[in-house]
């Protein structure tokens, strides 16, 4: 089973998901500036607020009250995601605002989620940037897993590093569980292994794979290894204040590879910029940020790198 959206047809957009578990690490700020730069590079970009329950991206773009939101798509007021895209002050940048009606979207039915995911590939854009909410609910993980580029944003604090690791670990288990949905005994084993204190003493994905291999599931293990190896993460360390803090992403990279068997790329760091904080609290659009800001420049480098992949 291929989990990512099929984009063999060249006109379908590349989906970039920005996740990372910990609230306040800067996912929304990063997604917004990233989408801005992709648009400036000339890529037709849609920034989508997938924080189902805590939508705030429109504010970061200086849009006070969006006249269309995801809710209008979910409730079928509009039939295509294209119909709920809002123009922004940037030429190539459009926004799909999150739902203002929190209750109906915070826990969408599975069928609504699948519909949303398949409609993403129909958007008339080069890139769709998904700003995911905090935490590791299935909603967040499923959107993360369908993306072609899976980016996690963390800060140098130990709790953020730990949360980033837990986020990736949960994403891997979510994927394994879905891959094994036709094999109840394997799915049960994966569920047991997910508990960090499980009786089988399986502590890592590496150990889980060894266990599966030894229990004569030789044909499935190759598929699982390949699917998990295909996840490939991009890691961004945000709010970096000094050289020492630059290593945070590298730490996640090492543990993700060692314990979760996931390859990753350290996409780089974004400097702490006090102006961002003021702009967010004063509701000034982030696109007005002084272009000489280090943070702005750092995200430009990352957008440029990704747009050339």
The edge-to-edge listing of strands for the beta sheet with 264-271 is: 86-87, 93-96, 45-50, 127-132, 14-19, 149-154, 233-240, 264-271
Choosing among Mg ion, ligand ATP, none, which partner's interface includes residue 126 (Cβ < 5 to 8 Å by kind)? none
- Residue holding tokens 């229990």? 215
Q: Which is nearer to ligand ATP, 23 or 196 (CB)?
A: 23
Q: Is 97 in the site for ligand ATP (CB under 6 A)?
A: no
Q: Is 163 in the site for Mg ion (CB under 5 A)?
A: no
Among 126, 142, 217, 273, binds ligand ATP (CB under 6 A): 273
At residue 80, φ and ψ (nearest 5 deg) are -125, 150
Residue 77 CB coordination number (10 Å): 12
Q: Which of 20, 22, 28, 37 is the binder for Mg ion (CB under 5 A)?
A: 28
The residues facing 159 across adjacent strands are none
Q: Which of residues 280-309 bind ligand ATP (CB under 6 A)?
A: 280, 295
Q: Which of 24, 28, 39 is nearest to 300 (CA)?
A: 39
Binding region for ligand ATP (CB under 6 A) out of 119-127, 202-210, 244-252, 267-275: 267-275
Site for ligand ATP in 8-27 (CB under 6 A): 23-27
Q: Are 51 and 132 in contact (CB under 8 A)?
A: yes
**120 vs 154, which CB is nearer to ligand ATP?**
154
140 binds ligand ATP (CB under 6 A): no
Decide if residue 130 touches ligand ATP (CB under 6 A): no
- Which of these ranges, 92-100, 185-193, 227-235, 276-284, lies near ligand ATP under the rule CB under 6 A? 276-284
The nearer residue to ligand ATP, 27 or 169, going by C-beta atoms, is: 27
Q: Nearest-CA neighbor of 264 among 171, 184, 182, 133? A: 171
Which residue number, 137 or 177, has a Cβ lying nearer to ligand ATP? 137
The answer to whether 190 and 174 have CB atoms below 8 angstroms apart is no
Q: Residue 197: in which H helix or E strand, if any?
A: none
Instruction: Please tell me the total number of residues recorded for the chain in this structure.
Output: 309
CB closer to ligand ATP, 12 vs 98:
98
Separation CA 236–CA 221 (nearest Å): 30
What is the SS3 assignment for 270? Answer: strand
- The footprint of Mg ion (CB under 5 A) covers 27-28
- The footprint of ligand ATP (CB under 6 A) covers 23-29, 51, 54, 133-134, 238-239, 270, 272-273, 276-277, 280, 295
């Amino acid at each position: 089973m291929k989990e990512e959206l099929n984009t063999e047809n060249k006109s379908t957009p590349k989906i970039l998901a920005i996740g990372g578990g910990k609230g306040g690490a800067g996912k929304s700020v990063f997604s917004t500036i990233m989408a801005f730069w992709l648009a400036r590079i000339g890529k037709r970009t849609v920034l989508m607020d997938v924080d189902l329950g805590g939508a705030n991206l429109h504010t970061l773009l200086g849009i006070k009250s969006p006249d269309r939101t995801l809710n209008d798509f979910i409730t079928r007021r509009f039939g295509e995601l294209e119909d709920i895209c809002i123009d922004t002050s940037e030429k190539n940048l459009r926004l799909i605002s999150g739902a203002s009606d929190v209750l109906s979207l915070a826990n969408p039915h599975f069928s609504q989620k699948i519909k949303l995911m398949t409609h993403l590939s129909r958007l008339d854009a080069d890139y769709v940037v998904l700003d995911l909410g905090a935490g590791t609910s299935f909603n967040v993980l499923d959107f993360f897993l369908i993306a072609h580029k899976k980016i996690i944003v963390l800060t140098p604090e130990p709790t953020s590093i730990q949360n980033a690791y837990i986020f990736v670990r949960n994403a891997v288990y979510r994927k394994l569980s879905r891959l094994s949905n036709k094999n109840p005994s394997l799915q049960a084993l994966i569920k047991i292994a997910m508990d960090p204190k499980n009786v089988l003493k399986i502590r890592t994905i590496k150990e889980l794979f060894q266990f599966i291999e030894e229990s004569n599931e030789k044909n499935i293990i190759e598929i699982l290894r390949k699917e998990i190896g295909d996840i490939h993460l991009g890691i961004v360390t945000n709010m970096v204040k000094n050289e020492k803090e630059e290593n945070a992403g590298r730490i996640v990279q090492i543990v993700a590879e060692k314990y979760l068997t996931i390859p990753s790329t350290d996409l780089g760091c974004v400097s702490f910029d006090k102006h961002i904080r003021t702009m967010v609290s004063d509701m000034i659009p982030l696109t007005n940020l002084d272009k000489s800001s280090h943070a702005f420049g750092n995200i430009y480098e990352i957008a440029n790198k990704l747009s050339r992949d």
